[in-house]
Structures are given as structure tokens and as C-alpha cells.
Structure 1
Amino acid sequence: MLEFHFGTMITQLLIFIILLLLVSKFAMKPMLETMKKRQDHIDHQIQSAEKSNEEASQLIEQQKALLTQARQEAKDILERAKAQKDREATEIIHAAEERANRLINEATSQIEREKEKAIADLRNEVGEIAVTLTSKILQEKLDSQSQTKFVNQYLEQVGRLQ
């Protein structure tokens, strides 16, 4: 049956403790150090990833802010361009109206001058015809029928001149 030998048990216990000390010194310590290094490396990687994630978030926020600013600047530029377009259109219309009014005034003045010149020429011509008619009438003694004929001829001449 089962017999217990006290000496054998103590020897086995001593061998077990020595073996445990040897394993802890030569196997457990290096294994724990390796696991500690690995844990530190993993912690460092996690911190780096979190830092990179935070930096990426900040960059995204900066890019959003820059995009918003660029959109606002584009909107401002468009508004200024529209305002300038409206100002220039108003100036062009105003200048065109002024030029049209000036041309109308010049044309009206020129028409008036031409009209006055035509009236003056007509007066001169009528005066010359009247003088010529009078001199012919005075040169010839005419009866009333001949006189009427001369007047009608000169009136026809004056009518053709107009």
C-alpha cells in the first residue's frame, strides 16, 4: 500500500524548492522581463496611436476651419465682384445716356443752324427773285395778263427751288 517515507519526502521537497528557485531565477525572470518589455512596447504603441489620432483630429479641425474661411473669402470675392459689376454697369449706362443726350443736343443744334441757314438762303433768293421780277416789270410795260404770267412763272421757279 502506500507508504510514506519521511526522508524521501523531504528530499523531494528540497529538490522541488531548488528547482522552483532555479526556474524562477533563470526562466521566470527573463520571461517576466520580456513580457514587461512587450507590455511597455504595446503601451508606447497605444500612446503613439492616440497621439496620432489626436493630431489627425486637430488637423481635420484646422482643415475644416480653413475650408470654411476659404468659402467665406470666395463668397466675399463674389459679392465684391457683383457690386463692382453693378457699379460699372451703372457708370456705363450713365456715360451712354450723357453721350446720347450730348449727341441729341448737337444734332438739334445742327438742325437749327441748317434750318436758319435754309431760311436765310430762301429769303435771299426770294429777295433776288422779287428784285429781278420788279426790274423786269419796270423794264417792260406789261398788261395785267402778262404781269400775271410773269408772277406765276417766278412763283413756279421759287417752288422748284424749295
Structure 2
Amino acid sequence: MIKYIAELVAFVLIVFIIVRYIVPRITPMLGRRQDVIDKQVDDAEQARAKLAEAERSFQSALTEARTEAAQIRENARADAQRTIEDLQAQARDESERIVARGEEQLASQRSAVVRELRTEIGTLAVDLSTQIVNQRLADEQQVSATVDAFLAELERDGAAHTDGTTTTGAGE
């Protein structure tokens, strides 16, 4: 039992030395260590909060950027559609203008051709009638036959009007 008492005294003495001399030296160091750990925990919590805020800001900015990109795409589509419609309207206007100009040119050319044909036909008719008259007058016998045929036709027309019937003859 002495052995147990001696061990117990030795144990109490070691505990007393540890508590009296070692613990006071370790306690400030442990306090500082605890303060550092507490500060690191607070810093980690602040960092976690900042990270969460940054993630919310990032998601908000990302959503805003997507919305803005969609709006830009819509505006670009609308601008493209307006440009297409404007170009189509310009093309229709240009086409109508070209067709109108072509129709005007055709009408002008038609009028010129009609005038030219009238002039040419008039000239040809005069030339032809001149040739016919010259040919008929050149042959005296034929002239008197033509006059006799004309007079005979007039007499028949006059007789037909009195009879109520109309007869035509080739010439006698």
C-alpha cells in the first residue's frame, strides 16, 4: 500500500507542478491559439457569407446578362426584319418604277411606230393611187370603159332605187 501512496503522492506532485508552473505558461499560448482559431472561424464564416453574396451577385448578373442578350437578339431580329421589309419595299418601288418607265418607253415607241407607219402608208397610198391613175389614164380605151362602167352602175343604182331591188354589174 505504500507503493500506492507513493504513486499517489508522486501523481499529485506532478499534477501540482504541471498546474503551478506549466499550465500558466501554456494558458496564454492556448488563449492566443484559441483567439486565432476563433478569428479564423469568424473569417471563414465571413468568407462563406461573402461567397454566398458573390454567388447571388453572380447569378443576378448572369440572369441580367442573359436577359440583356435576349433583348439584344430580339432587337437585332426586329432590325433585320425592318431592314428586309425596307429593302423589299425599295425593290418593289424600283420594280414598279422600271415597269412604268418601260411602259412609257413602249407607249412612246408605239406612238412613233404608228406615226411612221401612217406616214409610210400615206406615202405608199399616194404613190399607188398615182400609179393607178397614171396607168388608167394612159390607156384611153380603158378610161372610157371605166367611165362607161361607172355610169352604167349609177344607172342601175338609180333604177334599183325606183324598183326597190339592188343589182350590181361588173361593167359593159
**TM-score normalised by L of structure 2:** 0.67
Q: Which has the higher contact order (CA 8 A, sep 6+)?
A: 1
Distance 1:68 1:50 in 2: 27
- Aligned residue number for residue 24 of structure 1: 23
Distance 2:18 2:112 in 1: 136
Distance 1:131 1:13 in 2: 166
Root-mean-square deviation (Å)? 3.1
Distance 1:107 1:13 in 2: 131
Distance 1:108 1:13 in 2: 133
Distance 1:60 1:121 in 2: 89
SS of alignment partner, residue 143 of structure 1: helix
Structure 2, unaligned runs of 5 or more: 2-8, 147-172
Offset, 1:46 = 2.5
Distance 1:73 1:15 in 2: 80
Aligned length: 141
Structure 1, unaligned runs of 5 or more: 2-8, 148-162
Question: Are positions 1:41 and 2:40 aligned together?
Answer: yes
SS of alignment partner, residue 140 of structure 2: coil
**Equivalence map 1:1-162=2 (5 Å):** 17=16, 19-143=18-142
Runs of 4+ in 1 over 3 A off after TM superposition: 12-19
**TM-score normalised by L of structure 1:** 0.70
